[in-house]
Homo-oligomer: A and B are copies of this chain.
Amino acid sequence: MGPFPVVSLMVGSVVMSMAPDDNFLIAGSNATGTNGTEILIDTDARDAQRVLIASTLTFLVGILQVVFGVLQIGFIVRYLADPLVGGFTTAAAFQVLVSQLKIVLNVSTKNYNGVLSIIYTLIETFENIGSTNIADLIAGLLTIFVCMVVKEINDRFKHKIPIPIPIEVIVTIVATGISYAADLEKKYNAGIVKSIPRGFLPPEAPDVSMFSQMIAASFSIAIVAYAIAVSVGKVYATKYDYAINGNQEFIAFGISNIFSGAFSCFVATTALSRTAVQESTGGKTQVAGIISAGIVLIAIVALGKLLEPLQKSVLAAVVIANLKGMFMQVLDVPRLWRQNKVDAIIWVFTCIASIILGLDLGLLAGLLFGLLTVVLRVQFPSWGGFGNIPGTDIYRKVKDYKNVVEPEGVKILKFSSPIFYANIDGLKSSLKSTVGFDAVRVYNKRLKALRKIQKLIKKGKLKATKNGIISEPGISNEAFETDEEPEDNEDLQVPTKEVEIQVDWNSELPVKVNIPKVPIHSLILDFGAVTFLDIVAVRSIKTIIREFERIDVRVYFASYQDNLISQLERSAFFDDTVRKDMFFLTVHDAVLYIRNQMAYSDNQDPIFEKISLMQESKEPIEFTETVRPADELDVQEEAMRRLAS
């Protein structure tokens, strides 16, 4: 356990926004003097306040982590996808760069916080670039250059040199020596570290009144700290063959943060390099922890004092030089874009959101965006009409394959996703485009034609026999009633047959109504990828079945998931029209069944019965103009009536 760069940065941004320098301005040291207009900062009060904020934050993070652990929501880490983490850490690196840049330049800026604060800070840094301290800038640039070169050497020759050159340590020691020897502070007004407090602070209770201000940030920190620790832990767990209990880790980190929050400590997560050292030196028990703690103790008590003449710009430069790896992640984006556009977009979105909104809100925005992409990917699935590969029981997309044959009079639609409220319109439109007509429109047009036929029969211009409708000889031309719709006018000159005409909807009718042709008698929905249906989907599918039944197209379902039938049963899906015998194990089974049915069916059109009935009774028969099936209309109109009443 120990500190981690990203977490340190997140804690730092909370501290800086809650206790900026501006809050601790005091008049110049000799306030009575008239030239005492110089404004100083009460660094002691400021630092005390900042430590209090950091330790209070640690305490709150600890509480949240314990709560998360107890509520068993360790699973939340799963939502931190790789592209999201990549974008987030790159944005964090950018935040660090901007915060360190003003230290390298030794330029002071106001403390911004909230949305766009990092951009404002960057702008102000460049506006004040004239006041750059040259000594600090040179020291910083030199440090960056040396660190980068040596790190590159370390990387290139990692197999030839026994241990990497600890360039950060060397640079720090050398720079401290130079600064002390040349007295850079006095001569060039360089910004130096000045004082490093020794020893330990007394325990201090966290300031509960700050909780409300830092709750959002501590939420993000609690998750991020935990996520980093668990992902490192998992690497070693796999290596040494043990299992990690995510919720137990949450509680452990939580308790340790609550405890250390009372001792002016900092949010604990994983100390990656120390873990690696301990593993490679064979440390396995808590004794190794005690020894490394002892070494840190010596450093705190004895060595801190020696670093006081060090320029702050050197420290900032060391940090900047180490950001290279995190910035290099930007190079992943083009590869990601090639491999998976959605993941690349998540990366970019999270990065930009974290820069603009700050790290805490940015992480949340990225997380929500990631979930939204999942919804969208489910919502807009691939779909298409399927056909048979001749001689096999295999069905493939007609568009993608040559030599795929659609069975005569059958359309097969595969809609590759669960069906729920957000994509039910998509299902309907894909259905319409697969079958090539709109079932409701066809029904309405047929109804219109039927009414006209009825009218003609009443006028005696037509009569219906067992063989269909016969127009009376000689007056057939007048028997044609035209549709009012102007677009039908062009059809007027179609030659008319003075022979027996049966009410076959796909042939010509004795009335002029443009009825779209229905070239199919069966529709198969391949439900192979429909893993769930919600209540809206169940209702809509029932409506679809009825709409097609009305125009004499039977609907079948094939290769459904095992749990679908029971789900449909619970949703009151089945009734007299919608029966279980519509469901087939495979598409091929459904096609074979349909072929069989067709061979033995007598193809009697139900409309014929109505028409003969008409003629016998001579009374107008009531056509129920239920444009939508009764129950859906009920539901919808009932809802509307309630809303409006």
Contact = CB atoms under 8 A, between A and B. Distances in A.
A563 interface: yes
Interface in A124-152: none
Interface stretch (A55-63, A308-316, A364-372, A599-607): A364-372
Contact of A570 (B79, B324, B338, B424): B338
Contact of A378 (B336, B374, B627, B628): B374
A627 B238 contact: yes
Given A444-B241, A535-B83, A643-B4, A378 B342 contact: no
A86 B536 CA distance: 12
Interface string A219-244: 00000000010011001001101000
Contacts of A416: 531, 561
Interface in A568-583: 570-572
A2 to B, nearest CB: 10
B378 A418 contact: yes
Given A378-B378, A440-B238, A394 B585 contact: yes
A441 interface: yes
A86 B640 CA distance: 11
Interface secondary structure of A, over-half rule: helix
Count class of interface residues, chain A: 35 or more
A218 interface: no
Interface string A436-473: 00001100110000000000000000000000000000
Nearest to A77: B425
Interface of A: 4-6, 78-83, 85-86, 89, 228, 231-232, 235, 238-239, 241, 272-273, 322, 324-326, 328-329, 336, 338-340, 342-343, 368, 370-372, 374-375, 377-378, 381-382, 394, 396-397, 400, 416-418, 420-425, 440-441, 444-445, 528-529, 531-532, 534-536, 538-539, 559, 561-563, 567, 570-572, 585-586, 627-628, 633, 636-637, 639-645
Contacts of A371: 371-372, 375, 422
A79 B422 contact: yes
A1 to B, nearest CB: 14
Nearest to A570: B339
Nearest to A628: B238
Give the 8 A-B CB pairs with smallest separation, nearest first: A325-B642, A81-B421, A272-B644, A339-B571, A343-B535, A239-B627, A340-B535, A416-B531
